[in-house]
Structure 1
Amino acid sequence: MDLSLPQIWLIVGLVMLLAELVSILLVFVFFAIGALTTSLLTLLGVLPTTESQILAFSAVSLVSLLVLRKHARRLLDRTGDTGYTEFIGETAMVIKDIPLNGEGKIYYRGAEWKALASNQNSIPAGSKVVIKRTEGIVLIVEES
């Protein structure tokens, strides 16, 4: 099965979109934009040579990165700040010691969660803690 150049650029674009889904860098999406645009332009006959396709891919990827990355970052930061505020003030049980300046585990709502002590003290397993805030999926706790 021989693939045409537009099909190859389409595959590259889809692979870049998949790479973006598993990455947190917010970079692959711009390469995907470049590859998908190059695929379309090649299909329309605007880019007949491989050299012109590579130049178009590079230019579109770079321009989209420079123009859109700041806006995309701002949008993602705005939607990512919500956190798990419903956890704050709740009580949980330490099931794995939280060492001095280290990470342990707590049992909360039927699941194990990574936890850090808010005051940088160690908290032994079996202690009850109060959840003070969240940092991603890590709960910041204080001994109650």
Structure 2
Amino acid sequence: MLKFLSDPQLWLALGFILLILEVTSFSFFFLFIGAAALLTSLATWLGLLPSMAWQLVFFGVSSLILLVTLRKWLKNKFNHKAEERKGYVEFIGNPVEIIKDVPAEGEGRINYRGSEWIAISIDGVPIEKGTPAFIHHMDGIKVYVTTAKQ
């Protein structure tokens, strides 16, 4: 390919470039493509992939395998942690008083610790005034409520 780089060096450079791109994108796409390039570099260096055709096939297959098997899991893991950090976790499960009906889609009002808050039903079902409800999570000035005790 490039005369001044051997095939393993080329794949190694591509892998590091893709990993650096991942740092700027946070999409977990370049991470796995970069990892596949690094695996291809290693396999080529070990002499397992003598031709560029085999290297490209190995790179493509390993990219797909890594993307399909690990990307969704890793995104969910990071998104789940972000949700856990999302505001006021110490209030989760606390009872609230519904003071204005909370529709299935839309906003109602609750009273919590002497203050009125915007309430949204997390279950997608309407919650009538006076129905016992509990905090599922809070996001800014909105309280997501459920009728199920957590």
Structure 1 unmatched ranges of 5 or more: 87-117, 119-131, 135-139
Displacement of 1:78 = 1.6
Question: Aligned equivalents of 1:53 and 1:59: distance in 2?
Answer: 10
Q: What secondary structure sits across from 2:71 in the alignment?
A: helix
Question: Aligned equivalents of 2:14 and 2:87: distance in 1?
Answer: 36
Displacement of 1:58 = 0.4
Q: What secondary structure sits across from 1:47 in the alignment?
A: coil
Report the counterpart of residue 86 of structure 2 in structure 1: 83
Report the counterpart of residue 13 of structure 2 in structure 1: 11
TM-score (norm 1): 0.57
- In the alignment, residue 86 of structure 2 is paired with which amino acid? G
TM-score (norm 2): 0.55
Report the counterpart of residue 23 of structure 1 in structure 2: 25
Identity %: 34
1:58 aligns with 2:68: no
- Aligned pair count reads 94
- More deviation in 40-49 or 24-33? 24-33
Structure 2 unmatched ranges of 5 or more: 90-117, 119-137, 143-150
Q: What secondary structure sits across from 1:2 in the alignment?
A: coil
Query: Bigger radius of gyration, 1 or 2?
Result: 2
Q: Aligned Cα RMSD in Å?
A: 2.4
